[in-house]
Amino acid sequence: MAERLVNPAAGSKARSRKGGAAVPLDETDRRLLNLLQGSFPLDPRPYARLAKEAAISEQEALARTRRLVRDRIIRQITPIYDTRALGYTSLLVAAKVDPDHPWRAAKVINEHPGVSHNYQRNHEFNLWFTIAVPPDSKLGVDRTLEILKERSGATSMRKLPTLRMFKIRMDLEMEGGTEELARPQVIEEYGEPGPVPYDEADVAVIKATQGYMEVSEEPFAPAARKLGIDQRKLLDHLAAMQERGLLRRVAAILFHRRAGYSANGMGVWKVPKERIAEVGPVMASFRGISHCYERPTYPDWPYPLFTMCHGRSVEECERVLAEIAERTGVHERAVLYSSTEFKKVRLLYFTEEYANWERTWGGV
């Protein structure tokens, strides 16, 4: 039986989002957005390659992409590095904070540089965030969470680390409709990422390339100049990092609501332990699911499988989750929809911000 834990239009007060409404897009915009999210090439002139696939000119691809950035449909185009492969400890945290003033707690939590996502969800645990700490952290994740709990006034913080990963790929389907989102694709085996050896050259490349990447004919050129190498050498290095698992891909990250995806549902499933390995990959195969993990259960939290579903409406998310239930035979689930997005950023690695935060609040 499915349990709806939230009506996103009721209950909590959502912070106003300036310019948060969906923006009209034509077919070429949608095609280009799909390519920017999933097929951004490691090439000296990537927009020329993308333009060919979209059947437009390079200049039109650049002009459209700049407009999509200006209109706040694209947050940024950036390399996406693998947090765990870099040795960072990361996990999902569910917190109980003052339901009348959740922003006060969220503001404190958001100050930590390793917090990349923070959402209010209508549940007893009403604040859900992801956090990462670097391999050289003096506090570690447990002490960091103790400090955040005390400073934020949270009455409880529950750690929900990833026990097994079945999927992590956040790209919104911009061309297909509900049928595409609710259809399983090829079931792939996703290897659990772990620390990967890297050296100072890798760190230098990460520092030079992470964050916003300009929209230009040669967007990798500024990083290459910063490193004092030619573009081809940089691109070869990035390709090698991708092969080793340090770099997942280069991609456009979208503003979900502006792109038309107004619903963000965390579907959690009560699955017998002996079936998790069987049904996890099936759930992950659905186009409407961006993340699929096994996480710990508790006496009052019997849901080991988490699936993040993104839809253009609550009804669309419910359709995807219903199709998953039909395909897997797992019908006991709950769905937590986000009512407020307090933070969503790409992590920046190997910065001084982590050590500064630990000195300020941990005294180390």
- Give 121-170 pLDDT, tens digit per residue: 989 999 999 999 999 999 999 999 999 999 999 999 999 999 999 999 88
Contact 59, 50 (CB under 8 A): no
Q: How many CB atoms lie under 10 A from the CB of residue 16?
A: 6
pLDDT value at 184 more than 80: yes
Q: Which amino acid is at 157?
A: M
Catalytic residues: 117
Structure tokens at 34: 């799909």
Position 18 scores a pLDDT of: 46
Examine the pLDDT at 90 and tell me if it is beyond 50: yes
Question: What are the start-end ranges of the E strands in 184-304?
Answer: 247-254, 263-269, 289-294
Quick check: 13 pLDDT over 60?
no
pLDDT of residue 259: 94
Q: What is the mean pLDDT of residues 297-304?
A: 93
Confidence at residue 169, expressed as pLDDT on a 0 to 100 scale: 87
- Confidence band (pLDDT; 50, 70, 90) for 185? confident
Question: Quick check: 332 pLDDT over 90?
Answer: yes
Q: What is the DSSP pairing of strand 2-4 with strand 333-344?
A: parallel
Task: State what percent of residues in the chain have pLDDT above 70.
Answer: 93
Q: What is the pLDDT of residues 209-253, one digit of tens each?
A: 999 999 999 999 999 999 999 999 999 999 999 999 999 999 999
Do 290 and 343 form a contact (C-beta atoms < 8 A)?
A: no
Please give the average per-residue pLDDT across 50-60, as a whole number.
98
Average pLDDT over residues 327-355: 96
CA distances from 94 to 114, 149, 155, 176, 294 (A): 16, 11, 11, 33, 15
Q: What is the pLDDT of residue 21?
A: 76
Residue 165 exposure: Cα atoms within 13 Å on the Cβ side: 17
